[in-house]
Structure 1
Amino acid sequence: MLPEAFARLLVDYERHLRSERDLTPHSVRAYIGDIESLLDHAHRMGIASIGELDLRALRSWLAKQQTTGRARTTIARRATAARVFTAWLARTGRMPADVGASLGSPRAHRTLPPVLRADEADALIRSASELADDGSPVGLRDVAMLELLYATGIRVGELAGLDVDDLDRERNVLRVLGKGRKERTIPYGTPAAHALDAWLVRGRPGLVAEGAGAALFVGTRGRRIDQRAVRTLVHRRIADVPGAPDIGPHGLRHTAATHLLEGGADLRSVQELLGHASLATTQLYTHVSTERLRRAYQQAHPRA
């Protein structure tokens, strides 16, 4: 159990994350959990006040994570959480200097999720469309969600959070509120537009219930759809495609980005579509096929 002074500090920090940084509830829980672990470790080391926290204590905490078998990605995330925390302590006068500024973190191994080939993505949508031929609201909704996930590469949380007014059906663009509450506009193609029109005209009115508000997609009970339901849908429909890797909505996001790059889109455009703050994230998130590299070499190099 944390000493009272540390517990009060944690409450102040949580208030800062919620009201000043405007982080999502999930991000706040992650940050607070990491800092609570750090403060508990510091207390066990004999540190009685936050002013005594130093780089040695931070490194000791991270070393403990490693000895207990934490993944490199987890340790890297916790090092970031510690740096953000000590920067806040220094900025608010709770600590004379930012002791975490020079805290290093292990380089995380980034593994790319599998992606669908273009023909597999087409088979995924076609399979869902065949099941929706009966015109059922759920079938029309599922096709619209799959089309939109693949057409735009949006995150599953962004999809679930969409409202009807976020669609500009005249221009075929979508307004999305992404991480950090940053808004971006994403275009979508004709197949997605047709699926959305069918859902809005023939599907949603028969499924929506009181309390759904302006939610674009609703679940079987008529309320805003849950992210878990979307994940379940994607895995179930992927299973209908012979030979396709078992991917979820994140895999469809990666598939969309990969197909954009292979079709000739530049990294900056894909970065904007995906809502990445850094181009480096987009470079890690997407890969370029060997065949595309070969074509680019043959077109560009004088000795090809």
Structure 2
Amino acid sequence: MSDHVCPQHIALVAQLKQLLIDAGYCVNAINRQSAVAQNFLRYLKQRGLTLASVQPAHVTMYLRCELRRFERRHGRAPRSLEHWRASHTAGIHQLLRMATGRWPPAPQASSASEAFSQKLCAEFERWLDDVRGLASDTIHELVTEARRFMHWYLERAVSVNDLGRLTIADIDAYMQARSGSLRRISRKSLAQRLRCLMRFAHASGRTSHDLSACVVAPTLYAYESTPSTLSQHQIDAVLRICHADHSPKGLRDHAIVLLLTNYGLRAGEIARLRLDDIDWRRDRLYVRHSKTDSQSVLPLLPAVGAALLAYLRRGRPETSAREVFIRAHAPYRGFANGSSLYTPLRRRLDAAGVQTNGKRGPHAFRHARAISLLRGGVPPKVIGDVLGHRSSSSVWPYLKLAVDELRDVSLKISELLTEGAQ
């Protein structure tokens, strides 16, 4: 078959090049990924395949062909097979995401049990959205657990096309298999996700009885765990490390740490912070709280404003993205979610020599801010509003960290009782 490049493929490669340019890739990466994409399109044409029909197996076959060509040309295998594979798949995946809108595609069922599982999970996802009206992140967690349960159950089930034979013993066995290394709070979350699936199974007629009540979860007592936090000395050490780093990453991380320490924002709220949320004229910061779906208007403190300006002027890459904080490497876009902040903050904690007994991510800074407000005599209701809590009772667990203040209160009460007895 002719190797002539068709006009459609030329247009696709040109479109890919522009996408990579807009994303901020360097010239070498643009040329490399474009060349690989063009070669992959030629491979598809020779085999009569379209981009819409490409599956991961086709990419794997292409890589095998290219690896054989490399070995014939150089007389050896690549020095780093992992690096060689990444240099090829990057351009292919970018091309497929651009052309099809999604990559990798939804996996095709290879058996009747997989087909049943995929159908049930798709219906479960629609039910959670249409009937329950849950947030997208919550739906994702519930559907992920449903897929995991269905994979486990169908490996052991006699029938592969219904849940009619599901028993309490099956539920107990799954909980035991999943919860071995989980903390009690995680086991409770697992039980809640499984209960939701059982309610759907009954509501959709797949089980004759509602088995959700049979999912046993551990009892959690109010405020039984102590939140992890950072001392002011530790926070100052992290701020010094960030402030001394004048690289784009350093400017970005310095602004993020100041937002955490001054406002106690959640990581997701920082990741979603947009340029339009900063009112420079009125020195205000608009924060959309992820859990309550409400918005707070906070004063833009001078130190925070200065750090944000330094990052926007000298550290933020040129990009059309509207998020304030951008990844340090191409493609230049905002962080996927709040969890993406964990790694850069952990590196700053390590560089500052900060060791903690509990969590080492953004939430430790949030807890520290709550404690500082409590020690400053700020009422719990106001603290809850600042931190974006729905109820002021959410602040109560932080009281256990304000040990010195509680000790002072205890001493004063003891003194009063002593004086009264006299």
The aligned residue for residue 120 of structure 1 is 234
- The alpha-carbon distance between structure 1 residues 45 and 269, as it changes in their structure 2 partners (threshold 3 A), is farther
Look up the equivalent residue of 1:57 and give its one-letter code.
D
Report 1:215-294 matches (<5 A).
215-221=323-329, 222-225=332-335, 230-241=341-352, 245=356, 247-276=360-389, 282-284=395-397, 287-294=400-407
Deviations 1:61-93 (A, max 9, x none): 223335x55544443222111111223344455
Distance in 2 between residues matched to 1:46 and 1:281, nearest whole Å: 46
Deviations 1:2-22 (A, max 9, x none): 364443211111233456423
The aligned residue for residue 153 of structure 1 is 264
- The alpha-carbon distance between structure 1 residues 96 and 243, as it changes in their structure 2 partners (threshold 3 A), is closer
Query: Pick from 225, 237, 243: which aligns with 1:129?
Result: 243
The aligned residue for residue 82 of structure 1 is 194
The aligned residue for residue 208 of structure 1 is 317
Look up the equivalent residue of 1:178 and give its one-letter code.
S
Secondary structure of the residue aligned to 1:216 is coil
Q: Which runs of 5+ in 1 are unaligned?
A: none
Look up the equivalent residue of 1:22 and give its one-letter code.
A
- The alpha-carbon distance between structure 1 residues 277 and 245, as it changes in their structure 2 partners (threshold 3 A), is same
User: Which piece of structure 1 moves more, 294-303 or 142-151?
Assistant: 294-303
Query: Pick from 147, 150, 161: which aligns with 1:36?
Result: 147
Q: In the alignment, is residue 140 of structure 1 matched against residue 240 of structure 2?
A: no
Contact in 1 for aligned 2:198/2:210 (Cα 8 Å): yes
Contact in 2 for aligned 1:149/1:249 (Cα 8 Å): yes
Superposed displacement of residue 243, structure 1: 5.5
The aligned residue for residue 167 of structure 1 is 278
Distance in 1 between residues matched to 2:386 and 2:216, nearest whole Å: 31
Contact in 2 for aligned 1:155/1:249 (Cα 8 Å): yes
Deviations 1:11-58 (A, max 9, x none): 11123345642322xx44432232233334444254663344454432
Look up the equivalent residue of 1:58 and give its one-letter code.
I
Aligned length: 293
Secondary structure of the residue aligned to 1:174 is strand
Identical aligned pairs, as a percentage? 23
Superposed displacement of residue 155, structure 1: 2.4
Superposed displacement of residue 177, structure 1: 4.2
The aligned residue for residue 100 of structure 1 is 212
Normalised TM-score (structure 2): 0.58
Contact in 2 for aligned 1:6/1:39 (Cα 8 Å): yes
Query: Pick from 109, 126, 129: which aligns with 1:15?
Result: 126
Look up the equivalent residue of 1:256 and give its one-letter code.
R
Look up the equivalent residue of 1:253 and give its one-letter code.
R
Q: In the alignment, is residue 178 of structure 1 matched against residue 290 of structure 2?
A: yes
Distance in 2 between residues matched to 1:15 and 1:98, nearest whole Å: 20
The aligned residue for residue 297 of structure 1 is 410
- The alpha-carbon distance between structure 1 residues 281 and 298, as it changes in their structure 2 partners (threshold 3 A), is same
User: Which piece of structure 1 moves more, 117-126 or 236-245?
Assistant: 236-245
- The alpha-carbon distance between structure 1 residues 233 and 3, as it changes in their structure 2 partners (threshold 3 A), is closer
The aligned residue for residue 62 of structure 1 is 175
Contact in 1 for aligned 2:248/2:328 (Cα 8 Å): no
Superposed displacement of residue 286, structure 1: 6.4
Distance in 1 between residues matched to 2:349 and 2:307, nearest whole Å: 18
Distance in 2 between residues matched to 1:7 and 1:74, nearest whole Å: 25
RMSD (CA atoms): 3.5
Secondary structure of the residue aligned to 2:417 is coil
Superposed displacement of residue 102, structure 1: 4.9
Secondary structure of the residue aligned to 1:239 is helix
- The alpha-carbon distance between structure 1 residues 86 and 293, as it changes in their structure 2 partners (threshold 3 A), is same
Distance in 2 between residues matched to 1:70 and 1:187, nearest whole Å: 38
Q: Which runs of 5+ in 2 are unaligned?
A: 1-110
Superposed displacement of residue 190, structure 1: 3.8
Structure ranking higher on relative contact order (CA contacts 8 Å, 6+ apart): 1
Distance in 1 between residues matched to 2:355 and 2:236, nearest whole Å: 11
Distance in 2 between residues matched to 1:3 and 1:124, nearest whole Å: 49
Superposed displacement of residue 251, structure 1: 1.8
In our comparison, the structure showing a higher alpha carbon Rg is 2
